Amino acid sequence: MTSTAGAAPPESTVTDTSQVELTIGGMTCASCAARLEKKLNRMDGVAATVNYATEKARVAYGPGVEVADLIATVERTGYTAEQPPPPEPEDRPGSDRQAAQDGELTPLRERLLVSLALSVPVVLMAMVPALQFDNWQWLSLVLAAPVVVWGALPFHRAAWTNARHATATMDTLVSVGTLAAFGWSLWALFLGDAGMPGMRHGFDLTATPADGASTIYLEVAAGVTTFILLGRWLEARSKRRAGAALRALLELGAKDVAVLRADGREERIPAGRLSVGDRFVVRPGEKIATDGTVVEGRSAVDAAMLTGESVPVDVEVGDAVTGATVNAAGRLVVEATRVGADTQLARMAKLVEDAQNGKAEVQRLADRISAVFVPLVLLISAGTLVAWLLTTGEVTAAFTAAVAVLIIACPCALGLATPTALMVGTGRGAQLGILIKGPEVLESTRRVDTVVLDKTGTVTTGRMTLQDVFTADGAAERDLLRLAGSLEHASEHPIAQAVAAGAVERAGSLPVPESFESVAGLGVQGLVDGHLVVVGREKLLAEHSIELPEGLAEMKATAEAEGRTAVIVAWDGVARGVLTVADAVKESSAEAVAELRRLGLTPVLLTGDHGAVAASVARAVGIEEVIAEVLPQDKVAVVRRLRDEGRTVAMVGDGVNDAAALATADLGLAMGTGTDAAIEAGDLTLVRGDLRVAADAIRLSRATLATIKGNLCWAFGYNVAALPLAAAGLLNPMLAGAAMAFSSVFVVTNSLRLRRFS
């Protein structure tokens, strides 16, 4: 997913530099970004990276260079540039950009639908003689003219811009080919014999010099325009989602907050108006509005979405908490220590943005071909015209051969090669629970040799569940579960809820406690069926002068060494058993890891969880390389380190803490059961949340990429083979149109083979 347009900018010799980010308009392909980047980097003291996917340019510039100079250079290159205004604190992040992208996509969709409606009858009348009636050719002209003039207007504009800067892209091929076919048709209709009543458009493929005056190619002009518009719309729809990871990440934070005023009253204000030193209230189930320190209360904070920590963290007065994490239990009063761009959430958003800006779309093969192919075709066409005039003196024959060269070079099959394979491949992928975002993500799949797996929610379920039950001598497991589950059912703590759910599953209905008390950070106690029951940490039992027997102490130590949470149960002054709670490994994970190994990939477990927990999970699924206790920003560093070692890295994750790493990896696979931030940062989305689908996704991506390359090879190969025939006068424009249609049929048929992928 890298290209010259996304490469690291050259080292600047200027030591005192400033940086600016510009929003770029008018780019139509990756080669536009490469050309613009080249122009900017030619300026003295400037180092620039232009990202076609996000339509942004990040520029470092030295003394003597102004932002206005950078914008002027962009505009002289044929594009627009402006500095994006800073968002207001209360604005929805990215909403303006989202509206702008919607504003670009809707007109393109309308252009496609109108062109499709007008082109279908034109193509049918030209290719099916039975549908041709007297003067049908004039109806074709009426229908085709808006498609060529209005439908293809973006291509004509881009081709004109390219021509003014002595370059050529796919747009040049489309514009030249459609205008040539349309221009020839106008000449044949108004000055030749094609406009006469009773004219029929047959499939006579004989190459005779005078045939051109009675032949029209309106179906070529309209059909090519519509097909290329389809491909451009698919590309634009993919680009529309490019910034969604950043928006999803920023919108994860709390929208409003209850601030404590000096008189003790609470005032609800937007979270963006918080200042350092403000104290705010966080009730159970609410998000913490910003980074801060607990000044009142005790609770458990669920930080899994930010840190990957599967076990909620108990906090009390003096402990630091992070914005966007969830208060799972008691009431907290937090004093804000960091707000705005200084918070951990904002810094993570910056990481995602930086990673995306470093991953421009691959410079598409069709554009690289057209950069050389288009000027060559124009030269061949002009040379053909001159050669025929000099050797035969027949203007009609010369023009027929020259136009045949242009039409046979028209890139209908090149335009279909990627979108048809992508549509079939993504359609089949959706049936298998795999979403492929676009053709630019496929290149990395065939080179990937290392797959980094997030633990929580990817290899494991991401939910705390009751694992083992250890009982002391004389205690029954059912009694242990009933009494412990009864008290835990009344608690809001996630570990307590896991115990309660496991108790109901294994022991049936639970009694209602006669009394209940939650001891923050330690556990619960109360009266159940006449027994004084204590459930929680060893410290809570010590407060009741209850000692833990040696056997249960060993069980507790073993469980904790394996990364599980141990909960002690006692009643009537005696410790009766130990319950263990952990994030359970998914049943399919071990099979998925084995399948990834069969694909030649080396699995690596990467997690923010404790080392003991990670090692236990790795043993269960067969992973040898484990990297644990990693913060979100360190996950990005780990992925970069693996890439620096020469590995091509795929990352599989589901949480906000994985979003930046997914964007940094060569290939990002997001679990569809995870957060929007992770899903939008990934290149592939595994809808079912089953890790086994990761192997299917890589196989399907490789197959789709192979099909796209096969299509491009055929489309370009037929042009190369047919151009000499057209130049020699052995391929009249009608035959060129038929050959082009056959090439398109072949490309579509080849793409349809992906429907059989399993």
Selecting among 454, 654, 658, 666, the annotated active-site residue is: 454
Cβ atoms of 617 and 456 closer than 8 Å: no
Neighbours of 748 (CB within 10 A): 17
Cβ atoms of 408 and 184 closer than 8 Å: no
Taking the C-alpha atoms of residue 260 and residue 278, their distance in angstroms, rounded to an integer, is 8
Cβ atoms of 701 and 445 closer than 8 Å: yes
**Structure tokens of 276?**
């350092």
Query: CB within 8 A of 758, min separation 6: which ones?
Result: none
Specify the amino acid at residue 324: A
* DSSP codes joined into one string, 406-426: HHHT--HHHHHHHHHHHHHHH
What distances in angstroms separate CA 610 from CA 501, 565, 567, 635, 745, one per listed residue?
A: 25, 12, 18, 14, 56
Taking the C-alpha atoms of residue 532 and residue 496, their distance in angstroms, rounded to an integer, is 18
Taking the C-alpha atoms of residue 510 and residue 236, their distance in angstroms, rounded to an integer, is 56
DSSP-derived pairing of the beta strands 320-321 and 56-61: unpaired
Phi-psi sector, 165: left (phi>0), alpha (psi -120 to 50), beta: alpha
Distance in Å from the first CA to the final CA of the chain: 26
C-alpha radius of gyration, the chain, whole number? 33
Taking the C-alpha atoms of residue 153 and residue 235, their distance in angstroms, rounded to an integer, is 17
Nearest to 555 by CA among 471, 631, 616, 618: 471
Nearest to 181 by CA among 131, 147, 206: 147
Taking the C-alpha atoms of residue 301 and residue 136, their distance in angstroms, rounded to an integer, is 73
Taking the C-alpha atoms of residue 61 and residue 83, their distance in angstroms, rounded to an integer, is 15
Q: Which helix (H) or strand (E) holds 720?
A: helix 692-727
454 is catalytic: yes
Taking the C-alpha atoms of residue 249 and residue 346, their distance in angstroms, rounded to an integer, is 9
Tokens 């059961």 correspond to 673
Taking the C-alpha atoms of residue 544 and residue 676, their distance in angstroms, rounded to an integer, is 46
Taking the C-alpha atoms of residue 335 and residue 633, their distance in angstroms, rounded to an integer, is 24
Cβ atoms of 683 and 698 closer than 8 Å: no
Taking the C-alpha atoms of residue 185 and residue 221, their distance in angstroms, rounded to an integer, is 9
Taking the C-alpha atoms of residue 219 and residue 47, their distance in angstroms, rounded to an integer, is 47
**Structure tokens of 630?**
């990693």
Q: Which helix (H) or strand (E) holds 19?
A: strand 18-25
Nearest to 324 by CA among 343, 342, 337: 343
Q: Which helix (H) or strand (E) holds 681?
A: helix 676-681
Nearest to 188 by CA among 218, 159, 163: 218
Query: CB within 8 A of 724, min separation 6: which ones?
Result: none
Query: CB within 8 A of 693, min separation 6: which ones?
Result: 432, 433, 434, 686, 687
Nearest to 251 by CA among 268, 236, 272: 272
Nearest to 181 by CA among 206, 217, 146: 217
Specify the amino acid at residue 56: K
**Structure tokens of 190?**
């108004």
Own/partner pairs, 116-119, CB within 8 angstroms, 24+ separation: 116/226, 116/230, 118/143, 118/144, 118/146, 118/147, 118/151, 118/222, 119/143, 119/144, 119/147, 119/219, 119/222, 119/223, 119/225, 119/226
DSSP 8-class letter at 511: P
Q: Which residues are catalytic?
A: 454
